[in-house]
């Protein structure tokens, strides 16, 4: 029986072609949107984790309350001891210390007078140590545009756009002006070793990157740091585990009455990422629900039109004694065959478009020139494992639901009037 029905599906293009095309389009859109949104959210979360939040972030409570001001007067002291304790307590994680600071970058003329200067935001990380993982984590090697990486203390990297604005080139000396951990003014000369471009306006507009020992010296923060970032060893964010670790840590070390006590925040609850993480968890279900509803309506109408065209066929089958329920079930089996065919082709098409988007991406840098959000300027899709089968859910359900709705008319046929209908 199934073989007979499949022959009908393949041979009668009027019965199968339009529903299969509809399913293919819907499945292709489902697969593409799943990959595109996975890449969109995944890149944003990964970018924020690498540059800003870590998978977990440890600060003092005073620093956390004023974090937008980068208040290094609330920095953690005795950071070496804190890091040793963290590595012993959470061996499944990697902890690194970072210092974020603001100030002015001053460029002098040939007479030593200020030629031009601009406000800057600095990130200090361990980029000179032999076994440091920060060069890979911050993607500095790929971001390098001109010059070379810092090789010695006193050398810094500057964002390429900022360097062009200040008209400075690698090898030139610049002066950083800012405030120390204790509030006094600091002036420190650095040599520009190279320029970088990270692909996000928030970083490329006016950022400098230096080794953390240089920042500790310039900001009078010996054995101190503003933040400690923690990353899972597989570099994949695990929200339940991160929430568990931060909850246990805060229960032991965080004191609401002590602004210098330590507090840990997981990535989800930082920088307004909570809504994005939750949305990502539910987005696939939303896509499937929308496309099931839309395709079901289209296939319902298609089934009604097909039912009118097959009015005589169904009448003959009823007249020769075939049960209404059997006809109804056979139409559902036909729809499953059409759904499988459409889902296979739709998945292939969706994956091809997703692969193209994963390679090329969409450059939205022109729309984010004034943005302060840590977000890559090129959005790319990510082909996730469930993209290979996620399209079969709306593809099969929509065809079955559409056929079930259209096939209800079979039960309304009156067997006693069949011959009169067939004569006309």
pLDDT tens per residue across span 94-142: 999 999 999 999 998 888 788 898 999 999 999 998 888 888 888 888 8
Q: Is 282 exposed, middle or buried (0-12, 13-18, 19+ CB in 10 A)?
A: exposed
> Are the beta carbons of 23 and 398 closer than 8 angstroms?
yes
CB 105 within 8 A of CB 178: no
Specify whether the CB–CB gap between 159 and 198 falls below 8 A: yes
Q: Is the dihedral of CA 367, 372, 378, 379 positive or negative?
A: negative
Distance CA 100, CA 71 (A): 9
Burial of 182 (0-12, 13-18, 19+ CB in 10 A): exposed
Predicted TM-score (pTM) of the model is 0.70
Proportion of the chain above pLDDT 90, given as a percent: 29
Q: Are 346 and 26 in contact (CB under 8 A)?
A: yes
In whole angstroms, give the CA distance from residue 192 to residue 213. 16
DSSP symbol at 231:
E
> What would the two tokens of residue 410 be?
């079979």
- Residue 280, Cβ density class (10 Å: 0-12 exposed, 13-18 middle, ≥19 buried): middle
Average pLDDT over residues 59-79: 90
Mean pLDDT of the chain: 81
Residue 386 has pLDDT above 60, yes or no: yes
């Amino acid at each position: 029986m199934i073989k007979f029905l499949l022959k009908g599906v393949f041979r009668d293009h009027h019965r199968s072609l339009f529903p299969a095309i509809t399913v293919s389009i819907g499945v292709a859109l489902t697969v593409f949107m799943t990959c595109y949104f996975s890449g969109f959210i995944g890149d944003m979360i990964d970018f924020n984790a690498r540059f800003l939040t870590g998978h977990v972030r440890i600060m003092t409570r005073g620093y956390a309350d004023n974090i937008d001001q980068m208040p290094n007067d609330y920095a953690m002291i005795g950071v070496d001891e804190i890091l040793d304790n963290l590595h012993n307590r959470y061996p499944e994680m990697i902890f690194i210390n970072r210092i974020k600071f603001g100030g002015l970058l001053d460029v002098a003329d040939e007479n030593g007078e200020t030629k031009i200067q601009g406000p800057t935001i600095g990130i200090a990380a361990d980029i000179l140590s032999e076994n440091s993982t920060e060069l890979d984590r911050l993607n500095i090697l790929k971001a390098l545009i001109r010059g070379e990486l810092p090789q010695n203390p006193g050398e810094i990297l500057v964002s390429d756009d900022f360097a062009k604005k200040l008209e400075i080139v690698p090898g030139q000396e610049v002066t950083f002006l800012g405030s120390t951990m204790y509030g006094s003014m600091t002036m420190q000369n650095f040599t520009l070793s190279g320029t970088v471009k990270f692909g996000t306006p928030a970083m490329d507009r006016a950022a400098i990157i230096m080794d953390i020992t240089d920042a500790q010296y310039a900001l009078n923060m010996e054995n101190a740091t503003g933040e400690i970032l923690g990353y899972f060893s597989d570099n994949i964010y695990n929200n339940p585990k991160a929430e568990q670790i931060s909850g246990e840590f805060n229960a032991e070390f965080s004191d609401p009455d002590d602004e210098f006590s330590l507090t840990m925040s997981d990535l989800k609850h930082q920088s307004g990422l909570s809504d994005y993480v939750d949305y990502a968890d539910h987005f696939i279900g939303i896509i499937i629900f929308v496309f099931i509803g839309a395709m079901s309506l289209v296939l319902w109408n298609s089934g009604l039109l097909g039912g009118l065209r097959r009015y005589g066929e169904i009448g003959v089958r009823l007249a020769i004694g075939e049960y209404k329920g059997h006809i109804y079930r056979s139409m559902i089996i036909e729809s499953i065959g059409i759904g499988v065919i459409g889902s296979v082709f739709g998945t292939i098409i969706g994956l091809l478009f997703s692969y193209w988007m994963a390679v090329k991406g969409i450059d939205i840098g022109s729309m984010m020139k004034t943005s302060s959000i840590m977000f890559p300027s090129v959005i790319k899709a990510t082909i996730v494992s469930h993209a290979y089968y996620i399209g079969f859910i709306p593809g099969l359900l929509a065809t079955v639901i559409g056929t079930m709705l259209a096939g209800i008319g079979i039960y309304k046929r009156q067997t006693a009037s069949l011959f009169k209908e067939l004569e006309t």
